[in-house]
Structure 1
Amino acid sequence: MTTYYVYILKCADSLTYTRITNNISRRFKEHQKGLNKNCFTYNRRPLELIFHQEFNDIEQAISFEKKIKNWSAKKKLALANGNFEMLQILAECRNASHSKYKSIKE
């Protein structure tokens, strides 16, 4: 059975990079060596692997990657640090039109 990993890298400029692979150690080494000059991480080395989650099902891995890929760096760092309380706070909608902020009409 193939194992898949969703991973988050923290770049030297504090930006984050999220992707999926079936070989986390090989892929991290490729990023660190800068084998692909067109890769987002190429000019942002050195890199730090701050998070990875293992999956046995490629569809679940893809779904999770899509979910977190567009998160803010703060949310990704909270996930990587296991700070689930902060993750929940950062996930809350703070938009004035959110139902939480509308007055209740009777």
Structure 2
Amino acid sequence: MAAFVYMLHCADGSNYIGSTSGPLEKRLAEHQDGSYRGYTFRRRPVALVWSEAFERITDAISAERQIKGWSRIKKDALVRGDWDTIRGAARGPSVREGWSSSLSAPPTRCPLAPYRVKARARPSL
């Protein structure tokens, strides 16, 4: 049985990312009909702008969660199939730390650790 992750463009200009283990066409009809009072209920009509099939629902759910965490720029690039923009919009350590992807390893400092601030000298009295 196939599973899908999909992106809908809503009437208010927002995007909705979802997944389903059933037929994609059936799930889209449920969004259009307002069968469930979820995110898209008050944002109809919706249009399918992107989808991908998976063998297992767990893989589709994993992809859904990953895409939901992306910026609007990356989601729009996904719809266009613009992988260069998706890679460029990534907020990985290479962007935060300023290291080149050509290096063999990232910096040893944890990118989530707060930056060290130099102590200020106390004014003499």
Query: Shorter chain as normaliser: what TM range?
Result: 0.7 to 0.9
Report the AA paired with residue 19 of structure 2. I
Structure 1 stretch 25-34 or stretch 55-64: which is displaced more? 55-64
Check if 1:19 corresponds to 2:15: no
| Residue pairs, 1:1-106, within 5 angstroms | 2-21=1-20, 22-36=22-36, 38-93=37-92, 98-100=96-98
Question: What per-residue deviation string (whole Å, max 9, x for no partner) do you get for residues 6-47 of structure 1?
Answer: 0010111111111111211000011011122x2100111111
- Which structure has greater helix proportion? 1
**How many aligned residue pairs are there?**
99
Distance 1:31 1:72 in 2: 23
Unaligned runs of 5+ in 1: 102-106
**Greater relative contact order (Cα < 8 A, sep 6+):** 1
Over the residues paired in the alignment, what is the CA RMSD in angstroms? Answer: 2.2
Q: If you compute each CA radius of gyration, which structure gives the higher value, 1 or 2?
A: 2
Question: What is the TM-score with the length of structure 1 in the denominator?
Answer: 0.81
Unaligned runs of 5+ in 2: 100-125
